[in-house]
Amino acid sequence: MKGKPVADAITIRAKEEAERLKQNGVYPKLKIVRVGEREDDLAYERAAVKRMETCGILCEVLTLPLDIIHESFIKELKAVDEDKTVHGILLFRPLPKQINENEVKFIISPEKDIDCLNPINVAKVLEGDKSGFPPCTPSAAMEILKYYNVNLKGSNAVVLGRSMVVGKPMAMLLLKENATVTICHSKTNNLPNICKKADILVAAIGKSNMISEDFVKDGAVVIDVGINIDDGNITGDVKTQECLNKVSLITPVPAGVGSVTTAVLAEHVIKSCKQINNK
């Protein structure tokens, strides 16, 4: 399940919607807030800026110094949130230690919180309330499953990983689509046995090539969310080549889930813009 056709389809939708909004005098805009110059933030930022350009969405980047004090950071973020021309805010994390994320997550208004930092959006994911914004990565994984017509209703889904940005929201999104979901983590006993029962296996653990064919049921659909650097190469959490004989469908790394996230980001900006402007 390559990500590109999925991303292309979402991009076309977002572009059409951006055009429609502009004809109504509304210019959708994303603001990216980055503290410091982490290489993975910069790589994602470049991809996001390019995607917004393709979709006809305005995009600005606010870069703040790594040693910015908490109070100044809050002031800057509040100013971005209060800017009426901005519809969606993407804040790169983790933030430096001096900044208290527990305060930060309440600063971005839920309507502009397109990557699910604000607890109100987290609650909406739990409730299955589609007016909110689940994080872009699990949303991208769901878009892939939808695009490739994977049946989720009644399926047995196993999610490896329980982070707030991938594992937990992924489990909730699968549950919303009527899958029966098991969440696994580093303290789970008999991991291969649990995984082997999965019709849908989602790996989001950040351990290069950990998931071998021994974890995979015949005919399973596997989503590899992992992005790891292993010996200079980008690898997933799944041993893709080894599992190819067993799976019915699998996402590659790179060119899988990661290539769909900026398209979802664009779609979220359009959605926030429409909701804010009642268009």
CB of 256 to ligand NDP, least distance (A): 7
Residue among 28 and 167 whose Cβ is closer to ligand NDP: 167
Peptide bond into 169 cis (omega under 30): no
Residue 68 vs 243, nearer CB to ligand NDP: 243
**Least distance to ligand NDP, CB of residue 71, Å:** 28
For the bound state, the minimum distance from the C-beta of residue 217 to ligand NDP, rounded and expressed in Å, comes to: 17
Residue placing its CB nearer to ligand NDP in the complex, 10 or 184: 184
Query: Which C-beta is closer to ligand NDP: that of 132 or that of 135?
Result: 135
The distance of closest approach from Cβ of residue 10 to ligand NDP in the complex, given in angstroms and rounded to an integer, is: 14
Tokens found for residue 279: 């268009």
Q: State the CB neighbour count (10 A cutoff) for residue 146.
A: 13
Compute the least distance from the CB of residue 165 to ligand NDP, in Å. 5
Please count the residues of the chain: 279
Backbone angles phi and psi of 80, in degrees to 5? -65, -45
Q: How far apart are CA 165 and CA 162, in angstroms?
A: 8
Which tokens in the block code for residue 35?
A: 């503290």
In angstroms, the CA 273 to CA 279 distance is 8
To ligand NDP, the closest distance from the beta carbon of 260 in angstroms equals: 8
What is the end-to-end Cα distance of the chain in Å, rounded?
A: 34
CA distance 214 to 261: 29
Residue 228 vs 275, nearer CB to ligand NDP: 228
CA distance linking residue 162 with residue 192, whole number of Å: 17
Minimum CB distance to ligand NDP smaller for 54 or for 137: 137
For ligand NDP, the closer of residues 21 and 121 by Cβ is 121
Alpha helix stretches (DSSP H) within 178-235? 191-195
- Contact positions vs ligand NDP (CB under 6 A): 137, 160-163, 165-167, 184-188, 191, 204-207, 225-228, 257-258, 261
DSSP state of 202: E
Smallest distance, Å, CB 169 to ligand NDP?
10
The residue with tokens 């604000």 is 118
Q: How many CB atoms lie within 10 A of CB 45?
A: 19
Residue 228: other Cβ atoms inside 10 A: 16
